[in-house]
Amino acid sequence: MEGNLSAVVARYIYQTYDLFSSVLIAEAWTAVRAAALVPLMRAAVALCLAMSVMLLIEKLSMAVVALYVKVFRRTPEKVYKWEPLSQDLELGSLSFPLVLVQIPMFNEREVYQISIGAVCSLSWPYDRLLIQVLDDSTDMTIRELVQGECEKWSKKGRNIYYITRDNRNGYKAGAMKEAMELDYVKKCDYVAIFDADHEPSSDFLMRTIPFLEHNPDIALVQARWKFSNADECVMTRIQEISLNYHFQVEQQSGSSIMAFFGFNGTAGVWRIQAINDAEGWKERTTVEDMDLAVRVTLQGWKFVYVGDLEVKSELPSSYKAYRYQQHRWSCGPANLFKKMAIDIIKAKKVSLWKKLFLLYNFFFARRIVAHKVTFFFYCVVIPLSSFFPEIIIPKWGVLYIPAMITIINSVGTPRSLYLIIIWVLFENVMSLHRCKAVCIGILEAGRVNEWIVTEKLGNAPKAKQSSTVAKKSPSKFWQRFLFLELGIGVILLACACHNFLFRTNQYFVFIFPLSVSFFTMGFGYVGTYSPP
């Protein structure tokens, strides 16, 4: 009897303790939620709305400039002095400047013939054209193939030099820096640069060099990329939308307003004197092209973008290759911003207006804010707000601003307008990697100097590409899983379900498809093949 009584008393004590604990936990959670989480969410919403407005203003201003240029046909030939070059009867080919062409490459088995063949076919006096193939390949078989291609063109009368190194110090920048120090380069006036997958048209030099010849203050003439494999898959079509906006709006507006834009690393011609004025190529970041462009413009030089001169190139068709490329394109600028902000402020050869343009528009708004707001606002703040009834996000921030930004980004590729919803979802998933890369660049963390050359397939037949992909496929299907995307997909799915069941703002209409996008890319169902 006494034992039963003790058991009953103990049970009541435990029940009372559990009830008391539950009440304490509930009260503690309520207090923490009210004192910390809700104010934190409100602050996050305010910050994201402010960044959204900044991004919209920046995109609208550039779009207006690009529209003005198009409507009034303000082509570079009308803005700057441009006259076609012709051969002097007395001087002969000596009336043409000596031009150097560099083709940096690394294990480019599928595409090395594309750029070498195109460059060797340029319409320019052969005795006034020097070609350097800068081969950092680690595969000796590929080195032999590239060297053989160079020897083939050499026998046809081209001044082509095959240059290799024992290391990859500085990657692409290191190779070009060493090649520029060779004695015969000192005789050259200009240097054109083409990546291994780029195929310039035969009149490329005839259209670009006159800008440099007739305008001594111009340092760079940049052409536009045209994508040979844009129709390969949905992912390449989506990339085409983003890059067409970059060239038609960002590059065009920068060239028109400030005579400055970021060099794209290829399909451009530099005045060698301008490169030397800026102390040449540097190996401190993975965006050596942007680094050089900023340093040259701080010396007072101007850039010209020629939008109707297109150079064929290739888009990465696998998600893995695209992620590596986007990591470098996002991490490098953020790291460069950190390294060069003080130099930009202290520069004496540029106006205050250009300094503000570089710091705010070129770096902060486009390379920092754009990636941060895309991920944190649309993939974090809006979904998590479903759990906070106190948080009300204005409709203009959730709907109107994103819609306007989307329209601006899509006008450059009207043929792909039907893919715009997929583009939005894809860009939101990619913002995860871009945002992470920006943080790595600013903090100079582990992968800040990572350089993985983007895989290219060239003009190989589809059957051959499929065979190559099959050989690369992992033996176990789960090796293609990307657990970061899958984890965020689970969180977004939970947010969407909670929003559908307990909220009336209908954010689930956006969050559900977004979670599906993270799952789709996390399981590797994007691009031609998506290994881990």
For 26-62, the three-class secondary structure string (H helix, E strand, C coil) is HHHHHHHHHHHHHHHHHHHHHHHHHHHHHHHHHHHHH
Report the candidate in 357, 298, 368, 356 with the shortest Cα–Cα distance to residue 332.
Answer: 368
CA distances (Å), origin 60, targets 64, 253, 276, 403 = 6, 11, 36, 13
Opening angle at CA 294, ends 55 and 343, nearest 5: 95
The whole-angstrom separation of Cα 153 and Cα 157 is 7
Question: Which residues are CB-neighbours of 195 under 8 A, at least 6 positions away?
Answer: 103, 104, 105, 115, 265, 266, 313
Is 289 among the catalytic positions? yes
135, 195, 289, 291: which is the annotated catalytic residue? 289
Is 136 among the catalytic positions? yes
The whole-angstrom separation of Cα 417 and Cα 402 is 16
Helix axes 140-154, 112-120, angle to 10 degrees: 20
Report the candidate in 346, 100, 338, 309 with the shortest Cα–Cα distance to residue 221.
Answer: 309
Measured from the Cβ of residue 82, the count of other Cβ atoms closer than 10 Å reads 18
135, 136, 195, 291: which is the annotated catalytic residue? 136
The end-to-end CA distance of the chain, in Å, is: 66
Q: Is 98 left (phi over 0), alpha (psi -120 to 50) or beta?
A: beta
Active site residues: 136, 289
